Amino acid sequence: MTTSPDYRAGFVSFVGRPNVGKSTLTNALVGEKVAITSSKPQTTRRAIRGIVHHANGQLVLVDTPGMHRPRTLLGERLNSVVQDTLGEVDVIGFCVPADEKLGPGDRFINEQLDSFPRAKKVAIVTKIDAASKAAVAEQLLAVSSLRDWEAIVPLSAVSRIQLDTVASELIKLLPVSPQLYPSEQVTEELLEDRVSEFIREAALEGVQDELPHSLAVTIDDIVERDDRELVEVYANLFVERDSQKGIIIGHKGQRLREVGERARAQIEPLVGKQVFLSIRVKVAKDWQRDPKQLGRLGF
């Protein structure tokens, strides 16, 4: 695939206190474009949350799990995962909500950003739909006094205000680069892995003992069509014994329905569309001890 000479691509991390809207922003940005990649961690050190494809560039959104935890944040130093991640990204988007005044938590994180001189820094004022114009203006002013930002963007991920603006502002700050991920790469494999993980998690909720090890999930198909706001997921949930099948399905299928609902709630933000989820429960006798079955189940 050819790209224009000033095509830009690189890594971006959103940081900020818990609840300021980082995940919602990530989902809104990733969901808005055709090519979606999953948040399957590439390594334990760096988790790719999503890839945003624009005509003039590509944003690879990188997660910083440690930054989400106030206890880590208020600790003496950021944990090493965050250190490593933020040390490598091209741009850090510092998020503060429009509907709360800047507090010590925000200031603390802002100060930490000094440790990452390589990254360009952008301030993002989130949730402007939830604040008055005057409050937004006040917040922009307050944020601008924190440091010399490359850009300050007010937006609302929920109301989809200024999402394109923030994407282009971020892309402008990335290095000129070929595409890091081909846009036609829908990363089916990664998406499949993540989706099966969600289903397994949902199936395990509330069950005890040996069942956890007896569960495996495979994905037959993920059907995503441009002309439809619905993604179809066809999954199989393998157990080892008939009795386990009963546990998973529950009385009149009630438990399986709940599993499906929990899993869908996780998958939908990932794919940015509604999800039709079919889970078929199957028995693969003693699959854990059978190398052939293990292979088939992706182990």
Enumerate binding residues for ligand GTP (CB under 6 A): 16, 18-24, 68, 126-127, 129-130, 156-158
Nearby residues of 2 by Cβ (< 8 Å), 6 or more positions away: none
Nearby residues of 64 by Cβ (< 8 Å), 6 or more positions away: 13, 15, 81, 82, 85, 86
Would you say 65 is a known binding-site residue? yes
Would you say 282 is a known binding-site residue? no
Q: Residue 41 or residue 180: which is nearer to ligand GTP going by CB?
A: 41
Would you say 260 is a known binding-site residue? no
Would you say 290 is a known binding-site residue? no
Minimal distance, residue 286 CB to ligand GTP, in Å: 40
Would you say 66 is a known binding-site residue? yes
Distance CA 62, CA 91 (A): 10
Distance CA 106, CA 17 (A): 6
Would you say 120 is a known binding-site residue? no
- Which is it for the CA torsion 35, 38, 41, 45, positive or negative? positive
Question: With left for phi above 0 and alpha for psi between -120 and 50, is residue 82 left, alpha or beta?
Answer: alpha
Minimal distance, residue 76 CB to ligand GTP, in Å: 21
Q: Residue 96 or residue 279: which is nearer to ligand GTP going by CB?
A: 96
Minimal distance, residue 158 CB to ligand GTP, in Å: 4
Minimal distance, residue 250 CB to ligand GTP, in Å: 30
User: How many other C-beta atoms are found inside a 10 Å radius of the C-beta of residue 262?
Assistant: 17
Q: Residue 19 or residue 165: which is nearer to ligand GTP going by CB?
A: 19
Minimal distance, residue 279 CB to ligand GTP, in Å: 26
Minimal distance, residue 190 CB to ligand GTP, in Å: 21
SS3 (DSSP) at 197: helix
Of residues 288, 152, 264, the one with CA closest to residue 212: 288
Q: Residue 23 or residue 72: which is nearer to ligand GTP going by CB?
A: 23
SS3 (DSSP) at 105: helix
Q: Residue 38 or residue 236: which is nearer to ligand GTP going by CB?
A: 38
Would you say 72 is a known binding-site residue? no
Q: Residue 67 or residue 259: which is nearer to ligand GTP going by CB?
A: 67
H or E stretch at 96: strand 91-97
Can you say which residues are annotated as belonging to the binding site?
16-23, 63-67, 126-129
Can you say which residues are annotated as belonging to the binding site for GTP?
16-23, 63-67, 126-129
